[in-house]
Amino acid sequence: MAGVQTVLVLGGTAEARALAAELTERGVHVVSSLAGRVANPRLPVGEVRIGGFGGADGLARYVTENDVVAVVDATHPFAQRIGNSAVKGTSQAKIPLLRLERKGWEAGPGDDWHWVGSLDDAATKITELGERIFLTSGRQGLAAFAGCPQWFLARCVDPPEPPLPPNIEILLDRGPYDLVRERALQDEYRIDVLVTKDSGGTMTVAKLVAARERGIPVVIVRRPARPVTETVGDVSAATDWVSEMLRK
Ligand SMILES: NC(=O)c1ccc[n+]([C@@H]2O[C@H](COP(=O)([O-])OP(=O)(O)OC[C@H]3O[C@@H](n4cnc5c(N)ncnc54)[C@H](OP(=O)(O)O)[C@@H]3O)[C@@H](O)[C@H]2O)c1
């Protein structure tokens, strides 16, 4: 909508959808941006654009050409490239940027967590922990386990492409996942190691609870570093920030 003050929400997360809904409800013109990785994505309310911008320069061009007055990067904690582009692109275009990022998970009593820096490190770590691995790290990360002889149950939204581990069963599913099902899954498949990224949030946390109850070790991948930028942890704080930016 030419000439209308627009807020760009970089999305692909539940928080981004909630923010788009909240801002739309308040009469703010929001465009949500999705990468286009998932075949049938959950769409936020309001206007949506799909596909990469072409790096930081492309993002800077997009915000300038589309009357964007503020950007909220609500992408997934592991979406590092778009995070970098958001910081560089908004700085080039001189548009304010907020990072909306949910808190990471923390181990509690009874958890047996093994933190690693990457999926490659996770593939090494599992060799000392077990033989029947529940992989919940997403379709794009499966190649890291391609050389592993263990048996894998891999849960992903869309079918993965090779290379894959030789002994693997794919479970196509999409969160949120409840505890009853997570318990049943870990029991039915006799899982003895869980591999996850530190995505945080409540939608996929039940697998960690089920693993704790069963004494199953968890290999958990640390979040990649992102450039330092103003950050909030919840949708309501992000809504306040946008309101403040629109008042200016
Ligand atoms: N990584 C995960 O574990 C994960 C989990 C759940 C959801 N997601 C969501 O899935 C999307 C892709 O994740 P990823 O890890 O592949 O990201 P990534 O590695 O940071 O991004 C790769 C490229 O995809 C494009 N892109 C990513 N997010 C975009 C967005 N919201 N709007 C427009 N373009 C976007 C950008 O292309 P250009 O350089 O051409 O601009 C970016 O350079 C993200 O939106 C993220 O929120 C990711």
* Ligand 1 geometric centre to CA of 78 (Å): 9
How many Å apart are CA 220 and CA 214, to the nearest integer?
17
Decide if pLDDT at 3 tops 90: no
Q: How far is the CA of 207 from the centre of ligand 1 (A)?
A: 24
| Pocket of ligand 1 contains residue 220 by CB under 6 Å | no
Give the separation between CA 194 and CA 113, rounded to whole angstroms.
Answer: 9
- Report the range of poorest mean pLDDT among 37-46, 65-74, 119-128, 192-201: 37-46
- pLDDT tens digits, residue range 99-143? 999 999 999 999 999 999 999 999 999 999 999 999 999 999 999
CB 89 within 8 A of CB 58: yes
- Percent of the chain, pLDDT > 70? 99
Contacting residues for 184 by C-beta, under 8 A, at least 6 apart: none
| pLDDT value, residue 237 | 98
Instruction: Say yes or no: CB of residue 12 within 6 Å of ligand 1.
Output: yes
Out of 81, 135, 177, mutate this one to test ligand 1's pocket (max ligand atoms within 8 Å of CB): namely 81
Q: Which of 48, 76, 142, 173 to mutate to test the pocket of ligand 1 (most atoms within 8 A of CB)?
A: 76
Q: In degrees rounded to 5, what are phi and psi of residue 107?
A: -70, 145
**Which atom of ligand 1 lies nearest, measured to the CA of 16?**
47
Q: Please, which pLDDT band fits residue 163 given cuts at 50, 70 and 90?
A: very high
Q: Are 145 and 193 in contact (CB under 8 A)?
A: no
Instruction: Report the distance separating Cα 170 and Cα 176, nearest Å.
Output: 18
Angstrom distance (rounded) from CA 239 to CA 241: 5
Q: How far is the CA of 9 from the centre of ligand 1 (A)?
A: 12
Task: Indicate whether residue 215 lines ligand 1 (CB < 6 A).
Answer: no
Quickly tell me which residue has 């909630």 as its tokens: 18
Residue 176 predicted with pLDDT over 90: yes
Residue with the nearest Cα to atom 10 of ligand 1?
12
Other C-beta atoms closer than 10 Å to the C-beta of 186 total 21
**Is residue 27 pLDDT above 80, yes or no?**
yes
Binding site membership of 91 for ligand 1 (Cβ less than 6 Å): no
State the distance from the centre of ligand 1 to the C-alpha of 65, rounded, in angstroms. 21
* Per-residue tokens: 150: 């263990």
